[in-house]
Structure 1
């Protein structure tokens, strides 16, 4: 039977994992003109606001869902 400390450790590890995933989505460098996954154009506004983005909104959302 799991005790309170085990559950607390699991929650702490889950929080650390979530932080690491969020840190992976930080964009640096020059943005791609077309999405590296699907090839669709990345809107100019997105490229300006998120310098270094490489994925369109749809592909970025899929990536984030898969890494949760």
Structure 2
């Protein structure tokens, strides 16, 4: 029974995300202006930072979340 409840909540959450717009990935990083690799642009649709700058960005956000 608990599995059914979890599955229902998951379906509702996924249905809500279906309409979420996805922008195109940038070719150059907004922080360092280096090119963003094609594999990253495909894997992380809508990305605006290269993987190195994204890691730094997430680390900074994690510091402020504490």
TM-score (norm 2): 0.60
2:34 counterpart of 1:40: yes
Count of residues in correspondence between the two structures = 41
- Structure 2: give runs of 5+ residues left out of the alignment: 1-21
Q: RMSD value over aligned CA atoms?
A: 0.6
State the Cα distance separating 1:44 from its structure 2 match: 0.4
2:28 counterpart of 1:62: no
The higher relative CO (CA closer than 8 Å, separation ≥ 6) is in 1
Q: After TM superposition, which residue ranges in structure 1, 4 or more long, deviate above 3 angstroms?
A: none
- Structure 1: give runs of 5+ residues left out of the alignment: 1-27
